[in-house]
Every structure is written in structure tokens, then in C-alpha cells.
Amino acid sequence: MKAHDGMYIDGEWRPAAGTDAIAVVNPADEQVIAHVPAGTADDVDAAVRAARGALPAWAATPPAERAARITALRDVLVARKDEIAETVTSELGSPLKLSQAVHVGAPIAVAGSYAELAASYAFEEKVGNSTVHLEPVGVVGAITPWNYPLHQIVAKVAPALAAGCTVVLKPAEDTPLTAQLFAEAVHEAGVPAGVFNLVTGLGPVAGQALAGHEGVDLVSFTGSTAVGRQIGATAGAAVKRVALELGGKSANVILPSADLAKAVNVGVANVMSNSGQTCSAWTRMLVHDSQYDEAVALAAEAAAKYGERIGPVVNAKQQQRVRSYIEKGVAEGARLVAGGPEAPRDQGYFVSPTVFADVTPEMTIAQEEIFGPVLSILRYEDESDALRIANGTVYGLAGAVWAGEATEAVAFARRLDTGQVDINGGRFNPLAPFGGYKQSGVGRELGSHGLSEYLQTKSLQF
Ligand code: NAD
């Protein structure tokens, strides 16, 4: 696979400060497909300087011109969508159709939404005798995970550029090739030098240097709660803005009036998609006692169909982690009705689509984020029991509620401690704010709420 051996800084590909490299591995066949440089604090420093240098001019660029650059970026992503999808498939392992439809399709939609928002957003408002100006926060340090490599980047960079911020991106070490293609697209779109910069590297080295750099005004992080907590502490100590999109353990609550087969089938598909590596996946299915056995049978049947269809998980460590959770589920007394801990293939980091029945709320597999194709089915007695179980984790990122009438599902959803709920299988909306309650994070991405994360207010009184 094609890879740059430098960093994209100040509008050009520059040699890295050090000589260390990161091997990029195709998780489907375990072959090394490329190497990228492992950035150091010196690379991060050069990138932050470039971003600071570019900030005054970009912040002063009229929103319509910033919108034009984001439109051009969206257009380059569209023109190069096949190449990007193939790259995502090579480094993440997702089936090509999923890469095309979701991994590239969603970020194109998000980039388009920010091109429109940049042009139409009210960056100035009147409040009584005051004029409030919404100004860019400054230099953004963006740190992203591998699970939706392009989407996670676009969900930060597009609103940052729309707001007038400049950016240094440190992408996940497993998926740097997609990030390099994104940097090429930014360049092709005519975004001025220094407005967007890319430093590939390891989290505890390049990521940590970026999060702690005094030239960064806002750290926007998506990843695990453990690292997010550390980044929040670093940012807090420096009185720096921080946005955290962290883990999840979302509930899929099926009320007795729902279309059970549809709710179960969509629920299983949701968990198996992207091999379960979706922070908002509905990994806990809550079913009423009276329908429990039927739901378990439907879920086992649905999961069996995914055996040949899902891709591997991203790396050997994740594969081992997910398999350990499956073993833990068995050890704690849950009943395996599909899949299991054995690797289904000799080569590649594959995990069998797995479904557990008889899961109780306090079990590890019902509490901790697994980040693999593993569904837990829990039983509830009545609505208050369902609500207690659904809200009974440290997370609150997403969820789903199914009922015969949307109004019934909505009434239940309003009592969930979570940032997003799909009602009866509601579609993804790129304009709806996305982010967590509780330990799932701080702040929101997407749409106008996502844009406001990159803005600060200045009030002028008359
Ligand atoms: P991770 O936290 O290990 O890594 C995420 C990013 O942080 C990577 O770029 C990594 O290099 C970097 N990083 C690691 N250690 C660092 C440090 N000490 N300082 C600075 N940066 C550091 O997470 P992951 O394993 O890549 O991703 C999986 C996790 O991300 C899951 O928990 C998942 O739920 C979460 N996630 C959340 C969302 C969301 O929007 N809420 C979206 C996707 C993934």
C-alpha cells in the first residue's frame, strides 16, 4: 500500500524528526502492508507551530470562504472514495461494502453538512444590549481512534475548520493510511498551509505530546475512557478546553408491544456491524420475561448468519481481549447461544459472532465495553426494572427503544441516561448531536452542537 514516510506539516510532507516507524498490518491476513513514521514530541511541536502560525489568517477568513474549502474537501473525498474505501478495508479489515457505504459514505455526509453550516451559521448574535461574537477557540489537538478511521477525523476536522480553528491531528496507530489520504485530500482542496497538520505516531508519545502542548487550545479526543480520563486531567491542569468522546455499553430496550422479530434482528445487525467495534453499539439487549426465550432463539439464528460476513477485529490484542471477555462471560455463568471464544479461522484476527443469554446486570460482560461482536441478552420483569438495568452502567452514549407506538418508546427513552436513542430503528442523522452522558464523555460532535464545541464567545456591550 502507498504510504508517506513523513508528516504533513505547514502544507507539505516533511521528513519526520526521528527514525522509528509503525508497521501497518492488514487484520484479515496479518500481513504488513506499509510503514509510517512514529512521530515524536519534536514533530508535534513543529505541527503546533504551523497551526499557530496559520491561525490568525484562517480565523479571519470569511465563513463563506471556509465553507468553500470544506465543500472542495468533500468533493475530493467523493472523487477518491474508492481508493479510501480500499485503504480502510486494508488497515481496518472491514468488508469493502461496509467501507464504501459507512466508512466513506458517512464522513462525506458529515463534511457536506459542515460545508453548509459554515456558510449559514450565525457567528454573531444580539442579546439585549450586547453583540455576542462566536470566535474560534484556536489551535485544536485532535486525537482519533481506529474504529471509524475517516469518520472520526472528519467529525473533528470539518467543524474545527468551519469554526475558523486550525488543527493538528494524531490518528490511531492502526489506521494511519486513511489519515494520510485525508491529508492529501485537504491539500488538494486548497486549504491554506498550516490550517491542517498530521503527525502519525504512538498514543503515549505523539498523542501525549499533543494533549500536553502549551500551544494547543482545545484537545478533542475520541477513544477509550481510560485514556480520556488521563487527557482530561492533563487538559484540566493546563486550564485548556477538552472534548471527550469515550466508550459505551448501550442498551437496546425491547418493550412488550414492539415487533419482536424486527427489534431483535436490527439489534443483532447493529452489534455485529463493523465487527462490534462501534462505541454506540447496542451491546445489551433487554427483553421482557414473557418474550425472553423467543428473543434468544431469534438472536441466535440472526447471529449465525454473520459468521462469514463480518470482518476481523483490528489487531491481535483486540482479538485476545474480546476472546477473554467471552471466556469471562462463560465463567460468570452466562449461556452461550451463538459463537464462542475459539478463533473461527486460522489466519486473521477474526472473532465468532457471539450471543449470550441469561446475562445478569452485574456480570462483567453486561458492564464493561467489549468492542467486539458480542451481544448480551438480559431479562426484565417490568418497565422500572428495564429502566434500572438500562441505566445501570457507568456509560451513557447511545441506545435504542422499540415499542408498538413511537410515543410509548419516546416516553421510555426520555428516562434513559444517555446521549442518543434510536426509536423503533430510527436512521443515523449526521446533524444530530452525538456524545455521552456519564463516563461516555464530555461535549458533543456533529451538527451545530458539534460546531459550537470549537467556538468561544466574546460579548460586546453597547
Ligand atoms: P485508545 O484510547 O487506546 O486510543 C485512541 C487514540 O488515543 C489513539 O489515537 C491513540 O494513539 C491515542 N492515545 C493512546 N494513549 C494515549 C495517551 N496516553 N495520550 C494521548 N493519546 C493517546 O482507544 P482505541 O482502542 O483506539 O479505541 C477504542 C475505544 O474508543 C473504545 O473504548 C471506544 O468505545 C472508544 N470510542 C469512542 C467513540 C465515541 O465517539 N464516544 C468513538 C469511537 C471509539
- 283 CB within 6 A, ligand 1: no
- State the CB neighbour count (10 A cutoff) for residue 36: 24
Q: From residue 394, give the alpha-carbon distance in Å to each of 126, 417, 436.
A: 39, 10, 11
Q: Which atom of ligand 1 is nearest to the CA of 247?
A: 34
Of the candidates 91, 245, 369, 453, the residue annotated as catalytic is: 245
- Please give the biggest Cα pair distance in the chain: 72
The neighbouring-strand residues paired with 104 are none
* 452 and 316, same domain (yes or no): no
* 59 and 105, same domain (yes or no): yes
pLDDT tens sequence across 151-188: 999 999 999 999 999 999 999 999 999 999 999 999 99
Q: What is the pLDDT of residue 21?
A: 98
Q: The domain spanning residue 399 has which CATH number?
A: 3.40.309.10
Q: Measured between alpha carbons, how far is 52 from 282 in angstroms, rounded to an integer?
A: 40
pLDDT tens sequence across 51-101: 999 999 999 999 999 999 999 999 999 999 999 999 999 999 999 999 999
* 230 and 280, same domain (yes or no): no
Is the model's pLDDT at 204 over the cut of 90?
yes
434 in any annotated domain: no
Per-residue pLDDT, averaged over 111-123, amounts to 98
Q: Measured between alpha carbons, how far is 97 from 108 in angstroms, rounded to an integer?
A: 16
Q: Which atom of ligand 1 is nearest to the CA of 441?
A: 41
Is the model's pLDDT at 307 over the cut of 90?
no
User: What average pLDDT does the chain have?
Assistant: 98
Residue of minimum CA distance from atom 18 in ligand 1 = 204
* 451 and 369, same domain (yes or no): no
Q: Which three cell numbers stand for residue 155?
A: 467529525
Nearest to 295 by CA among 304, 305, 285, 280: 285
Q: Which three cell numbers stand for residue 24?
A: 501497518
175 in any annotated domain: yes
Q: Measured between alpha carbons, how far is 40 from 48 in angstroms, rounded to an integer?
A: 13
408 in any annotated domain: yes
* 183 and 285, same domain (yes or no): no
Known active-site residue 279? yes
Give the SS3 label for residue 177. Answer: helix
pTM above 0.95, yes or no: yes
* 153 and 55, same domain (yes or no): yes
Length of the chain: 462
* 84 and 188, same domain (yes or no): yes
Check if the beta carbon of residue 202 is closer than 8 Å to that of residue 38: yes
Residue of minimum CA distance from atom 32 in ligand 1 = 224
What total number of domains does the chain contain? 2
The one-character DSSP state at 232 is H
Q: Measured between alpha carbons, how far is 339 from 320 in angstroms, rounded to an integer?
A: 15
* 297 and 202, same domain (yes or no): no
* 282 and 394, same domain (yes or no): yes
1 in any annotated domain: no
- 371 CB within 6 A, ligand 1: yes
Q: Which atom of ligand 1 is nearest to the CA of 143?
A: 9
Q: Measured between alpha carbons, how far is 291 from 298 in angstroms, rounded to an integer?
A: 11
* 281 and 422, same domain (yes or no): yes
* 114 and 259, same domain (yes or no): no
pLDDT tens sequence across 224-239: 999 999 999 999 999 9
Nearest to 2 by CA among 76, 75, 91, 78: 91
Q: The domain spanning residue 227 has which CATH number?
A: 3.40.605.10
Q: Measured between alpha carbons, how far is 5 from 258 in angstroms, rounded to an integer?
A: 54
Residue 117: domain span: 6-246+439-461
